[in-house]
Amino acid sequence: MKLKRLLALGIASLVISTSVPSMASAATLSATNLVNTAKNYIGTPYRYGGTTTSGIDCSAYTQLVYKKSGSSLPRTTGQQYQQGKAVAKSNLSTGDLVFFNTSGKGISHVGIYIGSSKFIHASTSQGVTVSSLNDPYYWKSRYVGAKRPATFGEVAVASKPAPTVTYATRGQVAGIVVKTLGLHRTGSDMSFPDVNSKTPYYNEIMAAAEAGIFSGNNSGNFNPNDPLTRSQMAKVLTEAFNLSTSTDVPFKDVPSDYWALKYVGALYANDVTAGYTNGNFGVDDKVKLQDMQRFMDNLK
C-alpha cells in the first residue's frame, strides 16, 4: 500500500528528528579519555616505588591515570585489588583493572584493560607499555582477575548508552497522518483551547480534526504534546485507513464495554496486532515512535 509506505517513511524521519542529537555517550567518552591519558605515558621508565614520570611503578601508574581521568584509586596493587566489582575475563570492558601474580606470592602487578585483549601497564622491563592478556609466554599464565573500580564505576566502562525512548505525541502523529494522506485544512469551525497558530503541527492538527481522525478530550483540549496510548492509536489508524471495525476482541484487558473496543478489534481483525504475549492489548500503554513503524508494517 502506497500510503502505508509513505507513512512508514514519515515515522522513520520523525524518529530521527526527535531523537537525542547524535553524540558519543558519557561512558564512551570517559573510557576513551582514560585510554588516551594512559597512552600519554607510554615509554615512562619503571621504578619500584616511583610515582612520577621520572620513574613509576605499576600501581602508581594506574592511580595516576585514574586521577587524571577524574577518579581515584588507592596506592598499592593489593589495595586496588580489594576495591570494585570482580569482572570475568570474558566480560572485560575498557577501563577495568587487570591483576597478575608475577612474584609467585599473590597479587603483585596491575594494568588497565584497553580492549581487544590488551592492557597498558608499567612493566618492570619496558616501562609503560601495551601488552596482550593472552601472551602465551608470560601474561596469560600469570593473570589472576579483574576489577571494575567503584570510584570510576559505570563511567569508566565503554558500554552502549541506554536507548532513548521517544513516545509518539498526538501532534506528531497528526502531522504524519495528514502529510501522508495529503489532507488540507478547509477552515471549518474547529478549535481547541490548548492549540493556537504557534502550536507545532497546528495546521495538521486542524486538518486531522476536520477529517474526524482526531478529536479533543472531554474538556475540549487536544493535548498536542501528550503521548498517544495504544487505544488512541487504534482509533487513529482505524479512522485514517478506513479499517473495518470489529467487536470480536480476544484481549484480556479490553472489556466488552470499553470505549475503544471496535478500534482495537479493527487492528486485530486486520492483522495489525496480535497484542502482547500475556494476552493483553496494553490499552493504556504509551506508543513509542519506533513501535509505530511496526503498526504500519502490519497494515495490509
11, 34, 56, 58: the active-site residue: 58
Q: Is 109 marked active-site?
A: yes
Residue 261 φ then ψ, to 5°? -50, -50
* Contact in structure between 184 and 19 (CB atoms under 8 Å): no
Q: How far apart are CA 109 and CA 244, in angstroms?
A: 71
The verdict on whether 184 is a catalytic residue reads no
Question: Residue 109's beta-bridge partner residues?
Answer: 100
Q: Which residues contact 275 (CB under 8 A, 6 or more apart)?
A: 250, 251, 268, 281, 282
- List 7, 109, 178, 208, catalytic entry: 109
Residue 127: what are its φ and ψ, rounded to 5°?
75, -155
Among 11, 59, 121, 123, the active-site one is 121
Residue 125's contacts (CB-CB under 8 Å, 6 or more residues apart) are 46
| 121 labelled catalytic | yes
Rounded Cα gap, residues 30 and 36, in angstroms: 10
Report the candidate in 222, 228, 198 with the shortest Cα–Cα distance to residue 210: 222
Q: Which residues are catalytic?
A: 58, 109, 121
